[in-house]
Amino acid sequence: MNFHDTEKIVGILKREGYIPTDEPKKADLIVFNTCSIRKKPEEKLFSALGRLKPLKRQKPSLKIAVCGCIAQQQGSELLKRAPHIDYIFGPQNIGRLPHILSMDTVIMTEDNPELPLEDLPAERVNGVKASVTVMFGCDNFCSYCVVPYTRGREVSRPLKKIVEEVRALAEEGYKEIQLLGQNVNSYRDGEYDFAELLRHINDIKGIERIRFITSHPRDLSEKLIRTVAELEKVCEHLHLPIQSGSDRILALMNRGYTYAEYKRKVDLLRHYIPEIAITTDIISGFPSETEEDHILTIKALEDIQYDGIFAFKYSPRPGTKAAEMQEQIPEEIKSRRLSEILKLQDSITLKKNNALIGSIQEVLVEGKNEAGEPMARTRTNKIVILDKELPEETIINVQITEARIHSLTGRVI
C-alpha cells in the first residue's frame, strides 16, 4: 500500500514538472513516504532527516516533505525533532500535493472527504503488474495497530471507478492486477461487495491475473471463497493474517475470531481451492504472551502448514491499547520466540517447495531479480528463476527442477 502511494506521489510530481533524481544534492524537493506500523521505520526517518541538515543549510531553497503514516500520527510534533521539514501531510492528502507545494510551509493531516473519488496519476515501476486501490482506511481497531488512526476510517471507492482504472491498465498492456485495501473483504459500493467487484474485473479483456491484499479472517465469507474458486483469473493465493495461535492473545488483540474459527476458514479455502497457497502474518511477543501462548502459535504453524509467513516482534505503537498494556515482553524473549517461529516456518516452506519439484507450473515473466537472473511468478505467488530469458509479460509453463526457501528454479517448456 505504501509502495503504491509512492507511485502516486511520483506520478503527481511528474505531472507538476518534477524530474526524479538519485542525487539529493541535485534535488529541489525530497519526499519521505513513511510507515509507522513498527518503531524501526521511525528511527530510520529521523536518521535520514538528520543527514539532510547540512544540505538544507547549504541550499535553503531545498524543500523537504514528510508524508504517510508517521506524518499523520505525529503532525507538528515532527518539527520539534526536525525543524527543517517544510511539508507534512498524511496518506489521505496525497492528491493535494500540488496545493501543498504552492505554499512555503504546511501541515495537512485532516480527513479528505474526496479521497474515494480522486483519480491520481501513478508512475508505475513495473510494466507487467499494477496495484489498484479499492478502499482506504480500517474500522477494525486491532489493539496493536495504528492504521485506523493514520489512514482513517474505512471507505470504499466506487466500483465504476475501479473498473475504469483496470480497463485503462489492460489497454496499456498490464497483465496482472493487485487490488489493495486494509481489509478488502469488507469492500462495499451499494449493492456490490468484494465478490461482485472480482467478477467485474475478471471480465476485463487483457487482464490475465488478479490478486488482492489484505483479507481479514473475520470477514472472509464462504461466498467470497467460492467466488475466488470460480473465477479463472483470480490467482490461487491468499494472504490471511492470523497474528497468533492463542485465543487469549487474539482476544487481547481484538481480532474478532478464535483459532478454531480461523482454521475453519482455512479448511474451507482448501476444500474449494485445493491448490491454494496460503501465507500469513504473525506477531511475536505481544504483551502478556506466555510460553504457552507462544507454543499455541507454533502448533498453529504445524497444523496449518503455511506456504510462507511475515513474522515480526511486537512493537508498541503510541496511541494504541496494546502499548498501554501491562506485562510488556522483554526484547530477548521476543527475539527468541521470533527465531523459533521463523526456523519452523523455513522448514515447512522448504518442504512444500520441494514437493513441487517435477511439477508443471504456469508462470508470468516479470523480468530479472536483483542478481540479474530471469524470474517469473506462479499463480500461487512463488518466485521461479528461469533457465532462459523471455520477454516480460510472457505467460508460459515451466517444469520445476529445484527448490529453495524463497524461490524455485524452473525449466521453460
For residue 352 the three cell numbers come to 512444500
pLDDT digits (tens, 9 = 90+) for 135-151: 999 999 999 999 999 99
Confidence bin at 153 (pLDDT 50/70/90): very high
What value does the mean pLDDT take over residues 322-341? 97
Pick from 116, 144, 160: nearest CA to 244: 144
In 86-175, where do the E strands start and end? 87-89, 106-108, 129-133, 135-136, 155-156
pLDDT digits (tens, 9 = 90+) for 332-379: 999 999 999 999 999 999 999 999 999 999 999 999 999 999 999 999
181 three-class SS: coil
Quote the percentage of the chain above a pLDDT of 90: 96
Q: Which residue has the cell 496525497?
A: 94
- 5 and 68 in contact (C-beta within 8 Å)? yes
Topology alike, domains 2-108 and 115-352:
no
What's the confidence (pLDDT) of residue 41? 85
Pick from 232, 234, 124, 116: nearest CA to 172: 124
What value does the mean pLDDT take over residues 159-169? 98
What value does the mean pLDDT take over residues 371-400? 97
For residue 118 the three cell numbers come to 480522486
* pTM check: above 0.85: yes
- 29 and 101 in contact (C-beta within 8 Å)? yes
335 three-class SS: helix
Burial tier of 211 (Cβ tally within 10 Å: 0-12, 13-18, 19+): buried
- 76 and 107 in contact (C-beta within 8 Å)? yes
CATH architecture of 115-352: Alpha-Beta Horseshoe (3.80)
Angle CA 372–123–97, to nearest 5:
140
What's the confidence (pLDDT) of residue 204? 98
146 three-class SS: coil
For residue 171 the three cell numbers come to 489497454
Classify the phi-psi angles of 207: left when phi > 0, otherwise alpha if psi is within -120 to 50, otherwise beta.
Answer: beta
- State the first-to-last Cα distance of the chain, in angstroms, to the nearest integer: 35
pLDDT digits (tens, 9 = 90+) for 173-227: 999 999 999 999 999 999 999 999 999 999 999 999 999 999 999 999 999 999 9
Domain limits of the chain? 2-108, 115-352, 360-412
Rg, Å, the chain Cα set: 22
381 three-class SS: coil
Burial string for 360-386 (b: 16+ CB within 10 Å, else e) reads ebebbbbeeeeeeebbbbbbbbbbbbb
Q: What is the mean pLDDT of the chain?
A: 96
What's the confidence (pLDDT) of residue 27? 97
What's the confidence (pLDDT) of residue 125? 86
Residues 6+ apart with CB under 8 A from 281: 239, 241, 242, 243, 309, 310, 311, 312
For residue 338 the three cell numbers come to 521470533
Rounded Cα gap, residues 413 and 405, in angstroms: 23
What's the confidence (pLDDT) of residue 178? 98
Confidence bin at 38 (pLDDT 50/70/90): confident
What's the confidence (pLDDT) of residue 37? 82
Residue 163, pLDDT > 90, answer yes
Confidence bin at 14 (pLDDT 50/70/90): very high
Alpha helices in 209-254 (DSSP H): 222-230, 247-253
Question: Got the DSSP string for 18-57?
Answer: ----S-GGG-SEEEEEE--SSHHHHHHHHHHHHHHHHHHH
CATH no. for 2-108: 3.40.50.12160
What value does the mean pLDDT take over residues 110-131? 93
What value does the mean pLDDT take over residues 85-106? 96
- 412 and 387 in contact (C-beta within 8 Å)? yes
How far are the Cα atoms of 73, 305, 311, 319, 322 from residue 42, in angstroms, in the given order? 11, 33, 19, 15, 18
| CATH class belonging to 360-412 | mainly beta
